[in-house]
Amino acid sequence: MKRNVIAVDLGASSGRIISASLKDGKMELKEQFRFSNQPIELTDSLYWDYLKIFQEIKYGLMIAQRDLKKIDSLSVDTWGVDYGLLGRDGKMLLTPHSYRDTRTEEFENKLYEKLTPKELFALTGVQPNLINSNFQLFADMNLHPYLKDEVANIMFMPNLVEYFFSGVKSNEFTIASTSGLLDGVSRDLSDDVFNRLGFKKEWFGDIQHGGHVLGNVLPDIAKEVHLDSDIKVIDGIGHDTGAAVYSLPISNQEAKNVAFISCGTWSIVGQQTDKPVVTEQAFEAGLTNEGCFDGGNRLLQNITGLWIVQELQKEWSFEGEMVEFSKMVDEAEDAEHIGSYINPNDPLFATPSNMEEKIIKFLKETNQKLPNSRGELLQIVFESLALSYRDTINNLESITNEEIKRIYMFGGGIKNRLLVQLTANFCKKEIQTGPTEASVTGNVLAQFKALGYFKDDAERLSIVKSSFDTRIITPQAMDSDELNSRIDGFTKILKKEIVN
């Protein structure tokens, strides 16, 4: 019997409706619909157009229903940290902000007066960052004090969308673990954080683990877009990287010796651990802890990733030339290596617009050679990303005392052959790419589990290995002096040393 489920995969630049069909232990994915999901800038603020997102998903579900005839369920995964505020009537109180909104900057010092960066990390295991939910919520409550009396529920973005379709409120563990609101030991909402920042735990309810059925799609929605009335809405894996990790073809025993790199708007480099690692060494290395679907932990670092390249592409399109990503790779491969680097995580690169100008500014401020071509500029970005991956993987090995024997790379960035090969070369480790649609695959697997379509992790692995091909990339031999020169040059940039 063929079973069909829908993964609603929302990214920070696009949203997709992907169907997954399971038959005889093999999964097949099909993109049914895609739509733009850019944050909207209005009066110096950045918002998510949640009404458009809702409408586009409904339209995509209608297309999928016509194609598949029968849909069993749907579930939503998104980026982390963002949320929606609901009043007592269940309606939205504010339009959800994008994590790149700058309202948190005004309240950073005020928050640190209540909880220092080290205290925040010690309590939550999450690296303090202005994009985190705790900073965003603190800013909202200071900007709009009336909210403390008006808010009835807060839901993270995937659960908010699932609420729109099911009418059932929930918050799932993997997405909640990105917020900086959970206790680093118990993994429940942190009493210390909530009390000291003035939040109410009842806003979030109980944090749900392991996936469960919320209910059927609301009758009015089913009628409006001609859906089956018994399509189940599943609270599965809300965080896209958490979903991607669940898709990897590795057992629990193998996980401790495997690193993962999610290549998308963000580059997320991490390793699975049994429990959060909340040590001073982890804090100083910039590592953070997020949850896994099975209750385990992901020790990782968030690195500003292909966002830089996406912004460059947008800029160049505004100037009259649409440069495809494949052409960017070709130009970077053909360019001369000039030995200049950027720190992708420098705050300069975190905000939109003028990305080429920002790169040049960074190079000038660090006294580095400037690129003479677009290819040289792109090569600087790709090499800097790959070297930042290497730096994080070295930190992971040091902090966990576990040798990383293989790296799994997934996400749209694995189509960038240069970035993947540079990563293998600099890390001196074998890389396995795929599944290509890792977040979608994990989303779907969580639905299969909630519906009882497989019973244990061995069956999950069997489905993944039967359904997807992966590619192995081996490190190319590099002259040791040349490799050390590149590593040293990048390390100086990280340490904010001016290059001579």
Provide the annotated active-site residues. Answer: 240
DSSP, collapsed to helix, strand or coil, labels residue 18 as: strand
C-alpha to C-alpha distance for 236 and 254, rounded to whole angstroms: 24
In the numeric block, which tokens belong to residue 166?
A: 């099911």
> Minimal CA–CA distance to 310: which of 324, 291, 330?
324
Q: Exposure string (b/e) for 66-84, b if CB count within 10 Å is 16 or more?
A: eebeebbbbbbbbbbbbbb
C-alpha to C-alpha distance for 315 and 323, rounded to whole angstroms: 10
In the numeric block, which tokens belong to residue 195?
A: 């009390």
Which alpha helices (H) appear in 366-407, and where do they start and end? 374-400
Q: What is the Cα 498 distance to its own chain's centre?
A: 32
C-alpha to C-alpha distance for 269 and 259, rounded to whole angstroms: 7
Helix (H) or strand (E) holding 317, with range, is helix 307-318
How would you class 477 by CB atoms within 10 Å of its CB: exposed for 0-12, middle for 13-18, buried for 19 or more?
Answer: exposed
> Minimal CA–CA distance to 162: which of 228, 203, 216, 201?
216
DSSP, collapsed to helix, strand or coil, labels residue 64 as: helix
What is the DSSP code string of 27-56? EEEEEEEEEE---EEETTEEE--HHHHHHH
Q: How far is CA 428 from CA 397, 419, 478, in A?
A: 14, 14, 10
How would you class 415 by CB atoms within 10 Å of its CB: exposed for 0-12, middle for 13-18, buried for 19 or more?
Answer: middle
Tell me the one-letter amino acid at 374. Answer: R
C-alpha to C-alpha distance for 443 and 413, rounded to whole angstroms: 19
Q: Are 382 and 419 in contact (CB under 8 A)?
A: yes
Round to the nearest angstrom and report the end-to-end CA distance of the chain.
Answer: 67
C-alpha to C-alpha distance for 185 and 87, rounded to whole angstroms: 31
DSSP, collapsed to helix, strand or coil, labels residue 167 as: coil
Neighbour count for residue 280 (Cβ, 10 Å): 10
